[in-house]
Chain A
Amino acid sequence: MLASLVGLLGDIDFAEEAAQEAFAIAAERWPRDGTPGDPVAWLVATGRNRAIDRLRRQRTLQDKTQLLTDAQPMPTSDDLDLDDSTISDERLELIFACCHPALAVEAQVALTLRALGGLTTEEIARAFLVADETMKRRLSRAKAKIKVTAIPFAVPADHQLPGRLAAVLAVVYLIFNQSYPDRGELADEALALGRLLADQMADEPEVWGLLALMLLNDSRRLARVVDGELIPLAEQDRSRHDHAQIQQGRAALERALALRPDAGPYVLQAAIASLQAEQDIDWDQVALLYERLEGMTGSPVVTLNRAVAIAEAGMPQRALEVIDTLDLGEYRYLPSTRAELLRRVGRSDEARAAFEHALRLSTTDAERRLISRRLAGLSR
């Protein structure tokens, strides 16, 4: 629909706003009036009428995006059995345009949040710790590039799909990861996008894998940060985990595995998250899955996670040996993990130095306080 609106209105910026309004109106009206015979035509007409209204009234579009956030035609979180709707179909085309590889990744993320999540430019700027002006420029440059270079609003052809879908999944997962530790609204946006993709691309195992991964990790949101303090998994109050959401995550994981038994990277990570949602975690199994993921991605961050699993399985010395082979630059979780392992094997002085290094690299107050608590624990 957006593509047709762009044709009618000739301006991606404006059409996007009008489309959001049309979605909002549809979400409000369709349950009451029933779906019109041709929903796309209806939405285009509504969007155009709205746009004309808007031109007349000369009002800013800013406040209207809120409408979409409040009345998004997204399924509710308690059902995974999503119904097909033309709206989601058009939103799928929009997400492929926003996550086009011809745009820089930061621009892909910002555009996706703006166009599909209904976040304001200011909210996105805050979430990514950049100035409003910077984000405004980033967004308008990206929109100009879509328009000038004719990036299509379309689901890519089959032979292009794997690469393009990987880019979309990466953007959604980036948004999700940016929600740590205390930006829950970004996790909600990422989950909504994950559900949209699962609804529209139900044959893609990695789509279900990503949804499962996000549902499972997000199920710990309330236990992970309590009164502004970060709580490590082992110390979390499990009654604060969202068990219904864990079930949904596992259902999504099963769906992914049923589609293709040899798991891709998101499915593997979801399987790990599923194991970590158990009361008694099988850390040997977790380490094994990380090893497979390591072989697939070659990422030192994955190796770091494998080392944690090895330590949790009762082999902190072995874990330290793995970690000491890593070259992760100033990656902030390397010294904090190393410090914790050094503490466990009783090398307190080295642990203290590593915690202090981690403290210098930490980026949030909550992280700094957690590390300080660990440091205080050492002195006792």
Chain B
Amino acid sequence: MKYAMLIYPKPGSHDGLGEDEATALTAEYMALRADTRCIGGAHLQPGDMATTIRHGDDRNLITDGPFADAKEVLGGYFVLEAADLDTALEFAQRIPAVRLGGAVEIRPLVDVPMEAAH
């Protein structure tokens, strides 16, 4: 089973980190990514770098900023191959964003059969 771990850092939780602390934090994320069960992942640029596109009446609307009007913005994700939800939860609990006051949403991926994927 593949699980997406959608990481929502607490807004501002990375502000004011010293260089050493920032390096240590990055290393922590890299270590999780290096786990052989971790088959994907990305660190997204901040929400104010986002551009959102929506369907409009006569043409698509392109706007500045993230889709949801929420304080918390998706900051990145991992994709983990795990036997069951408990294993996935254990991995998710080691994601630093949790410790720093943010949250991680765990969603299983829809299993796409190989024929359909090609």
Chain A interface residues toward B at CB < 8 A: 100, 102, 148-152, 154, 156, 160
Contacts and interface: CB of A to CB of B under 8 A. Distances in A.
A160 B84 CA distance: 15
B86 A148 contact: no
B75 interface: no
A160 B1 CA distance: 21
Interface in B73-100: 83-86, 89-90
Interface of B: 1, 3, 83-86, 89-90, 106, 108
Nearest to A101: B89
What DSSP secondary structure best describes chain A's contact surface? loop
B90 to A, nearest CB: 8
A149 B3 CA distance: 8
Contacts of A149: 3, 85, 106, 108
Contacts of A154: 84, 86
A152 B84 contact: yes
Nearest to B108: A149
15 contacts: A100-B85, A102-B85, A102-B89, A148-B108, A149-B85, A149-B106, A150-B1, A150-B83, A151-B85, A151-B86, A152-B83, A152-B85, A152-B86, A154-B86, A160-B86
A21 B84 CA distance: 26
Contacts of B108: 148-150
Contacts of B89: 102
Q: Which 4 A-B pairs have the closest CB atoms?
A: A152-B84, A150-B84, A150-B1, A149-B85
Nearest to A156: B86
Given A152-B83, A152-B84, 8 more contacts: A100-B85, A102-B85, A149-B3, A149-B85, A149-B108, A151-B86, A152-B85, A160-B90
Nearest to A159: B90
Contacts of A148: 108
A248 to B, nearest CB: 34
A92 to B, nearest CB: 15
A100 B89 CA distance: 12
A152 to B, nearest CB: 4
A109 to B, nearest CB: 19
A242 B106 CA distance: 48
A100 to B, nearest CB: 7
A149 B108 CA distance: 6
Nearest to A152: B84
User: Most chain-A Cβ atoms within 10 A of its Cβ — which of B85, B106, B108?
Assistant: B85
Nearest to A3: B84
Contacts of B106: 149
A36 B106 CA distance: 42
A160 B88 CA distance: 13
A160 B90 CA distance: 9
User: Most chain-B Cβ atoms within 10 A of its Cβ — which of A150, A151, A152?
Assistant: A150
Contacts of A102: 85, 89
Nearest to B1: A150
A162 to B, nearest CB: 15
Nearest to B82: A150
Contacts of B84: 150-152, 154
A358 to B, nearest CB: 41
A156 B85 CA distance: 12
B58 to A, nearest CB: 39
B43 to A, nearest CB: 25
A150 B83 CA distance: 8
Contacts of A100: 85
A150 B108 CA distance: 9
Contacts of A156: 86
A151 B83 CA distance: 9
B55 to A, nearest CB: 29
Contacts of B90: 160
A160 B3 CA distance: 20
User: Most chain-B Cβ atoms within 10 A of its Cβ — which of A100, A149, A151, A156?
Assistant: A149
